[in-house]
Amino acid sequence: MKISNSVFVNQAGYPLKGPKVFTAAEAGEFELVEAGSGRILYEGVMSPLKEDRASGLAVAKGDFSGFEEAGRFFLRMKESGAVSPEFAVGERPYAALEKALLKSFYFQRCGMELTAEYAGPWSHGPCHLAEAHVHGNPEERYPQTGGWHDAGDYGKYTVAAVKAVADLLLAYERFPGAFAEPVGIPNASRLPDVLAEVQFELEFLLLMQRPDGEVYHKVTTAEFPPYDCMPEFDLAELIFSPVSDTATGSFAAGMALAARVYRELEPGLAERYAEAAKRAWRSLQGRPAAEGFRNPPGIITGEYGDKSSADEVYWAAAELFRLTGEAEYLQAAEAKLEEGWESWTAVRGNALLCRLGWAYTAGYGTLSLLDAGPGLVPEALRARLLGAWLAEAEEYAERSAADGFGISLLPEEYIWGSNMLVMNRAMVLITAEGMTGDKRFGQAALAHWDYLLGRNVLGYCYVTGFGANRVLNPHHRPSEGDGVAEPVPGMVAGGPNVRLQDETAVSLLAGAAPAACYVDHMESYSTNEMTIYWNSPAVFVAAYAGRI
């Protein structure tokens, strides 16, 4: 059977009782065929063809949600004979994928040997064991070992790390049952694997805090190592870049969130995290906000620059209020909200107020206040925030229904890390469903999930190790340097980037439609890198999708 490149499905599969929607570049009738036997088990009719600006195609949607039998299948268009990749329908079609998405964080661990027992063929020696010096002062040295490498390089960045930690903790808070089974990491604690993995990162983040409470922005070498450099051979000097208010604010928020999640299971850990959060918070008080972080002289690794720390401070205040119940934090959150409301709602509706990124973090603060128990947040404030959140979710749901591939991105929003944006918006939709019970939001979130796993114009499953058409050449140094044909599994590729921000993308993708501006090439870091904070929202969405 020759697979067509014109029938686009979730290649990981569809839940037995959930929605089952696909896209094709033709209209007319379709049939669902059992793999192996060739039996036709379901027939349907596509929607009318409609131009899809982002993909540059005219496409139609098909729906076989009424089919509820387990097995392996493919879809075939009656007129052309075009067929989709095979996929599963079952009770738990995403079980292996859920585990792989979470285990990818283990593969990013710094400072320890990844043994064959847990890492299989992707094992390697311990790395980055030396102390780092503070930028501008080679004699001032501190430990930095531990945590996760951020991406396809070996830097460790506070603001990126905290976004990843927050997504994982929020996933556990909402869907604890999704993390009941081990995923295959070393874990001698009584914590579920997700919390043990996050603890590994939190212990590193504590090393990023100075005694005065402020937090270093990142620890990296001065420049990136070669593309095929394995982590244990990256021996250049490690450097703490200066502290920043964005790092300090996000650190305070993440530690307060962690303290809340861990306090029932590990109260000792929770107390350490709470104290670190409060020290970071105190360091931000009584002085004007510093200018946004910029790389200091001689450092050319990822900058993670951010002009304003107002959203990080808002988030920190919200999380400290959730943790302590103390009015001063709620007052601080309200003050920052009032200060930022006009700018956070001016760009496009309520986008920045509900954004779940590493640079725009206000959405985490908003979600934290909305999740507070009854009567804790003044009703007028809660109503205002809920209205903004649901308005944003409504816009995503409407766009999803209109989009040929079921997602909420506008053509110009296929940017660096567009797959993170897709997953972040699915998080907003999932939480909106939880707040309202409106299934439309959940269905739109699942359409975003389908997109990540193959229902996109290129027909790629954007998670390494999965799908009939899978990513094989991610911008990820261990996967390039280890001599193993398959890349480390469970990593989310960055996705289409219409801005073409690397030489490979420019040379291979010029003139492509926005949703097609992706290439599975190791040197296309602007479309094909992985990061911990692209994987983290995917873990959240997987935890939801796996419970349908």
Tell me the per-residue pLDDT of 150-173, one tens digit each, with 9 for 90 and over: 999 999 999 999 999 999 999 999
Write down the catalytic residue from 475, 480, 482, 521.
475
Torsion of CA 459, 429, 352, 405, to 10 degrees: 20
- Pairwise CA distance, residues 244 & 253, whole Å: 14
Comparing CA positions, the residue from 181, 101, 185, 162 lying closest to residue 540 is: 101
Query: What is the Cα gyration radius of the chain?
Result: 23
275 is catalytic: no
pLDDT of residue 244: 97
The mean pLDDT of 203-218, rounded to a whole number, is: 98
- Pairwise CA distance, residues 276 & 250, whole Å: 12
Q: Are 147 and 200 in contact (CB under 8 A)?
A: yes
CB atoms < 10 A from the CB of 444, how many? 30
- Is residue 328 scored above 80 in pLDDT? yes
- Pairwise CA distance, residues 275 & 259, whole Å: 9
Q: Read out DSSP for 384-403?
A: HHHHHHHHHHHHHHHHHHHS
Report the CATH fold assignment for 95-290+298-459+527-545: Glycosyltransferase (1.50.10)
- Is residue 345 scored above 90 in pLDDT? no
Comparing CA positions, the residue from 256, 129, 236, 103 lying closest to residue 182 is: 103
Q: Which tokens hold the place of 157? A: 């960045």
- Pairwise CA distance, residues 364 & 354, whole Å: 7
- Is residue 350 scored above 90 in pLDDT? no
133 is catalytic: no
- Pairwise CA distance, residues 447 & 4, whole Å: 21
Q: How far is CA 172 from CA 107, 236, 371, in A?
A: 20, 37, 14
Q: Strand 50-52's sheet: what is its strand order?
A: 7-8, 21-24, 57-63, 50-52
**b/e sequence 254-293, b meaning 16+ C-beta within 10 Å:** bbbbbbbbbbeebeebbebbbebbbbbbebbeeeeeeeeb
Q: Which residues contact 393 (CB under 8 A, 6 or more apart)?
A: 428, 429, 431, 432, 441
- Is residue 218 scored above 90 in pLDDT? yes
pLDDT of residue 291: 84
Coil, strand or helix at 88:
strand
Let me know if 402 is exposed, middle or buried by CB neighbors in 10 A (0-12, 13-18, 19+).
exposed
CA 170 to chain CA centroid, Å, is 12
pLDDT tens by residue, 15-71: 999 999 999 999 999 999 999 999 999 999 999 999 999 999 999 999 999 999 999
- Is residue 118 scored above 80 in pLDDT? yes
The mean pLDDT of 449-476, rounded to a whole number, is: 98
- Pairwise CA distance, residues 441 & 62, whole Å: 19
**b/e sequence 355-366, b meaning 16+ C-beta within 10 Å:** bbbbbbbbbbbb
- Is residue 211 scored above 70 in pLDDT? yes
- Is residue 373 scored above 80 in pLDDT? yes
The mean pLDDT of 77-88, rounded to a whole number, is: 97
Parallel, antiparallel or unpaired: strands 132-134 and 137-142: antiparallel
Coil, strand or helix at 145:
coil
In degrees and rounded to multiples of 5, residue 457 shows phi and psi of: -65, -25
The domain segmentation of the chain, as residue ranges, is: 95-290+298-459+527-545
pLDDT of residue 2: 60
- Is residue 1 scored above 80 in pLDDT? no
Whole-model pTM: value is 0.98
Amino acid identity at 271: E
The per-residue pLDDT of the chain, averaged, comes to 96
- Pairwise CA distance, residues 502 & 494, whole Å: 13
pLDDT bracket for residue 348 (50, 70, 90): low
Write down the catalytic residue from 86, 153, 319, 480.
153
pLDDT of residue 3: 65
pLDDT of residue 139: 96
pLDDT tens by residue, 231-253: 999 999 999 999 999 999 999 99
- Pairwise CA distance, residues 520 & 527, whole Å: 8
Write down the catalytic residue from 228, 303, 520, 523.
520
Q: Which residues contact 430 (CB under 8 A, 6 or more apart)?
A: 441, 442, 445, 540, 541, 544
Which alpha helices (DSSP H) does 108-192 contain, by range? 116-119, 158-174
Residue whose entry in the numeric block shows the structure tokens 């873990």: 539
Look at the alpha carbons of 316, 317, 321, 326 in this order and tell me if their dihedral is positive or negative: positive
234 is catalytic: no
153 is catalytic: yes
Torsion of CA 243, 199, 102, 254, to 10 degrees: -40
CB atoms < 10 A from the CB of 294, how many? 14
Let me know if 81 is exposed, middle or buried by CB neighbors in 10 A (0-12, 13-18, 19+).
exposed
Q: How far is CA 181 from CA 54, 176, 384, 463, 532, in A?
A: 39, 10, 39, 21, 21
- Pairwise CA distance, residues 498 & 511, whole Å: 9
pLDDT of residue 339: 87
pLDDT bracket for residue 349 (50, 70, 90): low
pLDDT bracket for residue 352 (50, 70, 90): confident
As beta bridge partners, residue 34 has 73
- Pairwise CA distance, residues 121 & 166, whole Å: 30
Q: Read out DSSP for 268-329?
A: HHHHHHHHHHHHHHHHHTTSPPPPPP-PPTT--S-----S--HHHHHHHHHHHHHHH--HHH
pLDDT tens by residue, 258-296: 999 999 999 999 999 999 999 999 999 988 888 889 999
Q: Are 15 and 91 in contact (CB under 8 A)?
A: yes
Coil, strand or helix at 215:
strand
pLDDT tens by residue, 505-528: 999 999 999 999 999 999 999 999
